[in-house]
A and B are shown apart, each in its own frame.
Chain A
Amino acid sequence: MIELIRNCSHGSEISTYLAAGGAGEKRIFKTASTPCGIENLNREIEGWGWYQEAIGSSAGHPLCRIAAQGKGYLKIEIKFIEGRKADYRCGLEKNVDIIRKAVSHYCETWPRSSSAGFPLHGDLSIDNIIVNAGKVTIIDWEHFSRDGAPWAYDALHLLFETLWFGMRRRGGRITPQEVDIIAENIDRLNADNRSDPGLTKFPLRFTRGFIDGNAERWGNQISVFPCKFPVCDFTAAEISEIDGKVSEALKRI
Chain B
Amino acid sequence: MNIKEELRGCSKEVEGNLFTLGEEGYWSNLNRDEGKKLVGLLQRMTTKEAISKYHPDLFDVIFSAKRPAGLEMLGLSGDEACVDCGCMWGALTIPLAKRCRHVLGIDQTMDSLKFLNKRAAEEGLDNIDLLCGDIRKVGIFKNRFDVAIVNGVLEWIPEEGSIELKSYFGKFSQKRYAADPGRQQMEFLKKVHQNLKAGGKLYLAIENRFDAKMFLGINDPHANMPLVSVLPRALASCVSFMMLGRPYVNWLYSFNGIRSLLKRSGFSAVELYMSFPDYRFPERIIPYTGSLKDIPEDLIYLKSGNANNKKPFIKKAARKIYNGCQWLTYKFLNIRRAAPSIIAIGYK
Chain A positions within 8 Å of B, measured between CB atoms, are: 1-9, 13-15, 17, 29, 31-34, 37, 68, 70-73, 75
Contact = CB atoms under 8 A, between A and B. Distances in A.
Interface string B77-113: 0100000000000000011001110000000000000
Interface stretch (B212-220, B255-263, B285-293, B313-321): B285-293
23 contacts: A2-B75, A2-B287, A3-B284, A4-B282, A4-B283, A7-B69, A7-B281, A7-B282, A8-B64, A8-B66, A8-B69, A9-B283, A13-B65, A15-B69, A29-B72, A32-B65, A33-B98, A34-B65, A37-B65, A70-B98, A71-B125, A72-B98, A72-B124
Contacts of B282: 4, 7
Interface in B178-211: none
A68 B69 contact: no
B294 to A, nearest CB: 9
A37 to B, nearest CB: 6
Contacts of A5: 284
A138 B336 CA distance: 34
Nearest to A14: B65
Of A5, A13, A70, A75, which is in contact with the most chain B CB atoms at under 10 Å from its CB? A70
B152 interface: no
Interface residues of B, number: 29
Contacts of A73: 95, 98-99
Given A4-B282, A70-B99, A33 B65 contact: yes
A1 B286 CA distance: 9
A14 B69 CA distance: 9
Contact of A2 (B65, B73, B98): B73
A3 to B, nearest CB: 5
B123 interface: yes
Contacts of B66: 7-8, 15
Given A3-B290, A32-B65, A70 B78 contact: yes
Contacts of B72: 2, 4, 15, 17, 29, 31, 75
A33 B284 contact: no
Given A70-B98, A72-B123, A72-B125, A1 B65 contact: no
